[in-house]
Amino acid sequence: MKQYDFVIVGAGLFGAVFAHEANKRGKKCLVIDKRTHLGGNIYCEEIEGINVHKYGAHIFHTNDKAIWDYVNSFVEFNRYTNSPLANFEGELYNLPFNMNTFYQLWKVKTPQEAQDKINEQVAASGITDPQNLEEQAISLVGTDIYHKLIKGYTEKQWGRKATELPAFIIKRLPLRFTFDNNYFNDKYQGIPIGGYNKLTEGLLKGIEVKTSTDFFANREAFQAIADKIVFTGHIDEYYDYCFGKLEYRSLRFENEVLDQENYQGNAVVNYTEADIPFTRIIEHKHFEFGKQSKTVVTKEYPCEWDSGMEAYYPINDDKNTEMFKRYRTLASEEKEVIFGGRLAEYKYYDMHQVVASALVRVKSIFG
């Protein structure tokens, strides 16, 4: 009999949920992570008594009551509602695009006036068969919303001109003809009271964990001590990049502590013009209605990804999708390794989706 039933590589949400459920069923688990902390990308670093979302702003949202109840069973969530703003050339606009935005853009006061304005601009563009992201966006929302609120932001995000980006990136651009700034349509949203680390601690309570421990530094040893490996790291690295390297977009974060209580009056302000190199400023205390005397703000700069950098957004174009499929075929033949989470599945997952996916996997294994 081996020392562990499972060695779980990665202490992010997928690994932590899996470990919790396996432990609950009497299985012996060891969770390792190469980072110096647990939690993966939901980790919060405390600065000036404020929980700073180290790997980008994280707002939990879901329509699934079971998932909401599940995460709330480890830590109570607050009633934070995401209502981001956009700053374009010094003017502020509400997001998502709604009657407040339309009033700010055109001074229109009724849904009909707003709809007429958009229809007029879409018709004037003459675009019937969009060939790129720019044409696609204009054909959906017209020129004003596109130029002020979409173009610069999207080009910074992807590091490419909107005319060089494929139309499929934007499938829909929801327009809301009510005065409603709540970004998510989901029934439940919020932030764990006391920060995301409380969620991770709750999930991993009573389970053996080792941080600053890279699976690949000691691969054979980990395989020797466990019946099964749950792998939530990079799938291409697992197979020694035999089909090539899967590509990502990355982000660079610049934190600043400011000696003032309130910098921007909102957690999230997007900067939608091309000339400002960051895409947004996050003021973390507002996620938890903080009243500390200082504040911490983070500027978020999208950037090219290279090995050694944090991989944030998979680039699901044809080349990478084909490469991933070849890795997935290899993975499906493994008997003793379970692959899951955003890096192993080369997929953008929201938190509620990754929790759901771990629970589905648990069910398929333990019944």
Contact status, residue 358 vs residue 18, Cβ threshold 8 Å: yes
Interface with ligand FDA, residue 33, by CB under 6 A: yes
Interface with ligand FDA, residue 191, by CB under 6 A: no
CA pair distance 11, 111, nearest whole angstrom: 47
CB of 183 to ligand FDA, least distance (A): 10
CB of 58 to ligand FDA, least distance (A): 4
DSSP 217: G
Cis ω on the peptide bond leading into residue 96 (within 30° of 0)? yes
Interface with ligand FDA, residue 350, by CB under 6 A: yes
Q: Which stretch binds ligand FDA (CB under 6 A): 31-39, 187-195, 269-277, 322-330?
A: 31-39
How many helices (H) does the chain have, and how many strands (E)?
12, 16
Interface with ligand FDA, residue 312, by CB under 6 A: yes
Q: Which stretch binds ligand FDA (CB under 6 A): 36-44, 170-178, 242-250, 268-276?
A: 36-44
**How deeply is 41 buried, as exposed, middle or buried, from its count of CB atoms within 10 A (0-12, 13-18, 19+)?**
buried
Interface with ligand FDA, residue 176, by CB under 6 A: no
Q: Which stretch binds ligand FDA (CB under 6 A): 40-48, 88-96, 168-176, 282-290?
A: 40-48
Interface with ligand FDA, residue 96, by CB under 6 A: no
Interface with ligand FDA, residue 34, by CB under 6 A: yes
Nearer to ligand FDA, 102 or 183 (CB): 183
Residue linked to tokens 């909102």 = 266
Closest CA to 282 of 55, 49, 13: 55
Question: Would you name the residues annotated as active-site residues?
Answer: 172, 176, 249, 280, 300, 348, 350
Interface with ligand FDA, residue 283, by CB under 6 A: no
Nearer to ligand FDA, 102 or 349 (CB): 349
Beta strands of the chain (E only): which ranges? 4-9, 29-32, 44-47, 50-53, 60-62, 85-88, 91-94, 188-190, 208-210, 226-231, 248-258, 268-271, 280-283, 295-304, 313-314, 337-339
Contact status, residue 251 vs residue 56, Cβ threshold 8 Å: yes
Closest CA to 284 of 195, 204, 203, 346: 195
Q: Which stretch binds ligand FDA (CB under 6 A): 19-27, 28-36, 144-152, 168-176?
A: 28-36
Q: Contacts with ligand FDA in 236-265 (CB under 6 A)?
A: 251
CA pair distance 198, 184, nearest whole angstrom: 23
Interface with ligand FDA, residue 298, by CB under 6 A: no
Per-residue contact string for residues 196-235; x = within reach of ligand FDA by CB under 6 A: ------------------xxx---------------xx--
Beta strands of 219-358 (E only): which ranges? 226-231, 248-258, 268-271, 280-283, 295-304, 313-314, 337-339
Nearer to ligand FDA, 104 or 316 (CB): 316
CB of 321 to ligand FDA, least distance (A): 19
For residue 21, the tally of other CB atoms under 10 A from its CB is 19
Interface with ligand FDA, residue 13, by CB under 6 A: yes
| HSE value, Cβ hemisphere, 13 Å, CA-based, for 92 | 9
- What does the binding site for ligand FDA look like in residue numbers (CB under 6 A)? 9-15, 32-35, 40-42, 56-60, 214-216, 232-233, 251, 312, 341-343, 349-352, 354
